[in-house]
Amino acid sequence: MRGAGRGGATLEVWPSLRIHMQANRAFMHRVARYLAAEKGIRQFLDIGSGIPTSPNFHEVAQQVAPESRVVYVDNDPIVLVHAQALMAGGSEGKTAYIQADMREPETILSARELLDTLDMDRPIGLTLIAMVHFVEDDDEAYRVVERIVDALPSGSWFAASIATDDFAPEMLARVQEVYHAHGETLRFRDRAQAVRFLDGLELEEPGVVRIHKWHPEPGDVGSVDDADIAMYGGIAFKP
């Protein structure tokens, strides 16, 4: 899913990849901080955790609220090797890891690690950061997200970042070719398709925007070139 060979080849055709991914990770950090500090969320389900890189999601959330609980999900076997690092949360909170594919939501929702860590009757912060582009079929992608969101209790929040080629279609068509050449999926979606993932929920301002424009840190405003970003992001509330 995050192969070194594919990454190097992608950098050759799209030199902005590194900036783009850094902006995506910064978006994830802001989401974790925002939900913990501004919305009082104390339990999180992070699907598509990736290889641990400090600060991880739980570190950001537990910095705000040490009692925060985080369940990570990923299907990459390399992540499993590093799962112990993911689960090294603060003494007051708790972390857990599930090896599962997001395209099989029932496996995630029935996992003992999830049920032992999170209270499914209390609000949860669900994050799908740079994940839905790995599901090429639109109907399947929307179905999977809807199933997981439906399982969340009222008062929960859903955050996502969604790959788009709205701003550089020719360049990103070459990126897509690299992914396909390495046997991987990559599905870009326009803004209307990105917004659809949050249908039925109450979008938080400023809505679905490019990730570097979602609640940027004051010092970061203007520091990222729009042309380097190919990802929409937003969060929404489940009433």
Q: Kindly report the number of other CB atoms within 10 A of residue 213's CB atom.
A: 16
Query: Which residue is it, tokens 């112990």?
Result: 84
What CATH number does the domain containing 134 carry? 3.40.50.150
| Mean pLDDT across 131-145 | 97
Q: Look up residue 23 and give its amino acid.
A: A
Domain count, the chain: 1
pLDDT tens, position by position, 56-93? 999 999 999 999 999 999 998 888 788 776 667 667 89
User: Does residue 2 register a pLDDT over 60?
Assistant: no
Query: Which residue is it, tokens 């938080």?
Result: 204
What range does the domain containing 40 cover? 4-237
- Among 227, 225, 231, residue whose Cα is nearest residue 160: 231
Instruction: Please list, in sequence order, all residues whose beta carbon lies within 8 angstroms of the beta carbon of residue 239, skipping any fewer than 6 positions away.
Output: 154, 201, 202
